[in-house]
Structure 1
Amino acid sequence: MPSLEDRRGRGGSGQLSAPRLRNDTPERAGLDPEELRLLVRDVHDLTTGEPPWAPGAVVVAGRGPVIAVEEAAGWAVRYARHNPETGRGVELPRLARVPMTVDTPFDLASLTKLFTSVAAVQQIERGTLGIDARVGAYLPDFRAVREYGITVRQLLTHTSGLPPELPLYDCPDDTARLEMLRGEAPVREPGSSYLYSDLNMLILQHLLERLTGRTLDVLVHDGITRPLGMTSTRFDPCPGAAATEDQRRPWAKVDRGMLRGVVHDENAWALGGVAGHAGLFSTGRDLAVFCRTLLAGGSYGPARVLGPDFVELMLTPPGLGFAVDQPWFMGELAGRGAAGHTGFTGTSLVLDPATDTFLVLLTNRVHPHRGVPDSRPRAGAATRVGRAVRGA
């Protein structure tokens, strides 16, 4: 069980500190070793069917400053292409495949939204951005956003009413893409209901870049990943990453072939790989640091990326950037304020402030072909972690 000093984040001198993650036993983390053994078994099982749920996976789970599980399974690269006639992947010879390791980077897809959201809340904390300010005050050239009075909070909570996406990948150039984004009107009354939309984070990206004079990749690097020591987290490209899709029409929106180390999302690709909604690559270990930082109130080691009040603001329902208490991917961790997100490529993370636990599950589920959405394995993994917490 973590010591009282570990759980509170206090050193022997009584000064506030934020212990770094360390690998240790489930018992030292206050977690049931049998449930975590079953978690590891379940993750390996995901990669062994014919076809597997995902060719490869990495799982990292822990409590407090202790990583109790860090495991890789399956293949980072297994297939040469997708065969639409058989509906199956064409496998590479075994010696040509690339095994998954705990250090393999993954295309995070929509987990990128969490980093864009943190970058925005950093500006809110500094007083340079108003959470209930109208976006049009910062981006007057974004006509529809200005006309409908969409606010920063509505972008962060997906209540702007903007449609889920736009075919920016079909535009001939950046000028046309920007013009399409500037003119897109809400399909619902802003503030009236939840409608998940990539456009929220794309517009937030433009706001942040206009406000700070720095590009999003620089904001994320300088404000989040560099101070936290997340050296394996970066925007596209990322050589050595797990492969994703054999991206071809009609199942995809563009024809790009087998993707590895370049962003899967078609709009993020069209935007040059740096986008508010997708484009980041990272590893399980780096994302565990990100989770631990938020669970510790915004600090990790000597670094502080947010104050505790602003972390609480992000994780309190309905969540800013984060989804809160969603059983469809959080399983039995949902219900007490667990927060997290999923990514289309097969990625997810969940952190539970009530029990000081976290789970990172990264897979290349779309390799070699996107299939029917299925988050039951994500929910199952989170349930294993929830059941592993002793005395919760």
Structure 2
Amino acid sequence: MRTLTEGPHPWAAGVVAVAGRGPVIAVAEATGWAVRYSSYDPETDTGVELPPAARVPVAVDTPFDLASLTKLFTSVAAVQQIERGTLGIDARIGAYLPEFTGVAEHGVTVRQLLTHTSGLRPELPLYDCPDAAARRDMLRAEAPSAEPGRYLYSDLNMILLQFVLERITGRGLDTLIADGITRPLGMTATRFGPCPGAAATEDQRRPWAKADRGMLRGVVHDENAWALGGVAGHAGLFSTAPDLAVFCRTLLAGGGYGPARILGPDFVELLLTAPGLGFAVDQPWFMGELAGRGAAGHTGFTGTSLVLDPATDTYLILLANTVHPIRRPPANAPRANLATHLSRAVRDA
């Protein structure tokens, strides 16, 4: 794993990998730096390294910006409401948010948001809006750009789902996730930012980024989540690998962990069974050889990923700051390779 953090253009400044089977954590390793650079130099296309004494080494319990792994928590929060009968999986979004005319007029449903089949485009430039009212107006007017029913991955699905959840419960998404997931499971390191001790992400500046915010650490990397105040359905959570191991263990065990239960087994199966609700299923591009027998998981733009393999009761968590000091084209081979190593280790065992 050390090779992932070495050289002038490493895959990531720092990497944490945790793998487990059943109740046992088999691998927990960390390498590299939570903070390695002070800035990015576009003229040399290299990071400006901090003096060795000023760098921060990564540890197994270092918090990372989860990016789109946040979607998994939003999905669980939604399925909790489905289990309670307060949210209909095939209900139209217009029934809950009639003022969101763009999706209401096209009959977009909760299931379509959870499966990325709403037809909504990948994102909107909410970060360019002058205020919250303008952001809300943009989202209300947004209509599907493709025919609903066809897969098109979109952050807007989970942002709208957040608004639905907040409307039907009267509580913020941060409270729903804390009260319904992280607090019952004892996941004390998982929360929306700010998170001062987190691994650094990007020297966020135009033209390569969508906002001029400088070197980020402990505040959400995603520009739209930042524009929404740091709490968003698609991004914004910070967590550690040990906390995520509890989350994985809970889902693989049918929704319970110790004395806590966050979902019933039938509803966990609904989350994880193809096509998956929020979770992607059998995607070899990041699951490697774990894919093909019902593995479920997700990736995050900052360098995070999570894979559950119900067939063998195993999971793999990879946390990395691949965007430190700057975002680069995705390179998913390390994710797939580690998943393949885990698959072969389980097979050989």
Q: Who wins on radius of gyration, i.e. which is larger? A: 1
8 Å contact from structure 2 (residues 8, 46) kept in 1: no
1:372 shift after superposition: 1.2
For the residue of structure 2 that corresponds to 1:390, the secondary structure is: helix
Matches within 5 A, 1:34-183: 43-183=1-141
Partners of 2:347 and 2:143 in 1: CA distance: 49
Aligned to 2:170: 213
Aligned to 1:15: none
Partners of 2:231 and 2:19 in 1: CA distance: 28
For the residue of structure 2 that corresponds to 1:281, the secondary structure is: strand
1:290 to 223, 240, 247: 247
8 Å contact from structure 2 (residues 35, 199) kept in 1: yes
Residue-pair matches, total? 349
TM-score, structure 1 normalization: 0.88
| 1:61-118: CA deviation from partner (whole Å, max 9, x where unpaired) | 0100000111110000000100000111010000000000111000000000000000
Aligned to 2:346: 389
Partners of 1:299 and 1:336 in 2: CA distance: 23
Flag structure 1 segments of 5+ consecutive residues without an equivalent. Answer: 1-42
Partners of 1:72 and 1:48 in 2: CA distance: 13
For the residue of structure 1 that corresponds to 2:229, the secondary structure is: coil
Partners of 1:62 and 1:122 in 2: CA distance: 25
Task: Please identify runs of 4+ aligned residues in structure 1 that moved more than 4 A.
Answer: none
Moved more, 50-59 or 157-166: 50-59
8 Å contact from structure 2 (residues 20, 26) kept in 1: yes
Partners of 1:390 and 1:327 in 2: CA distance: 17
For the residue of structure 1 that corresponds to 2:105, the secondary structure is: helix
1:49 shift after superposition: 2.5
Partners of 2:6 and 2:29 in 1: CA distance: 15
Partners of 2:10 and 2:21 in 1: CA distance: 29
| 1:276-310: CA deviation from partner (whole Å, max 9, x where unpaired) | 00000000000111001000000000000000000
1:321 shift after superposition: 0.1
TM-score, structure 2 normalization: 0.99
Partners of 2:7 and 2:173 in 1: CA distance: 39
1:50 shift after superposition: 2.5
Partners of 1:236 and 1:167 in 2: CA distance: 21
Partners of 2:165 and 2:257 in 1: CA distance: 24
1:377 to 330, 334, 343: 334
1:167 shift after superposition: 0.1
1:273 to 230, 251, 260: 230
Aligned to 1:306: 263
Determine whether 1:263 maps to 2:231. no
Aligned to 1:328: 285
1:145 shift after superposition: 1.1
Q: Matched residues, percent identical? A: 80
Determine whether 1:344 maps to 2:312. no
Aligned to 1:229: 186
Cα RMSD (Å): 0.7
Matched letter for residue 105 of structure 2: E
Partners of 2:153 and 2:50 in 1: CA distance: 37
| 1:163-204: CA deviation from partner (whole Å, max 9, x where unpaired) | 00000000000000000001001011111x100000000000
Aligned to 1:9: none
Partners of 1:64 and 1:391 in 2: CA distance: 16
For the residue of structure 2 that corresponds to 1:389, the secondary structure is: helix
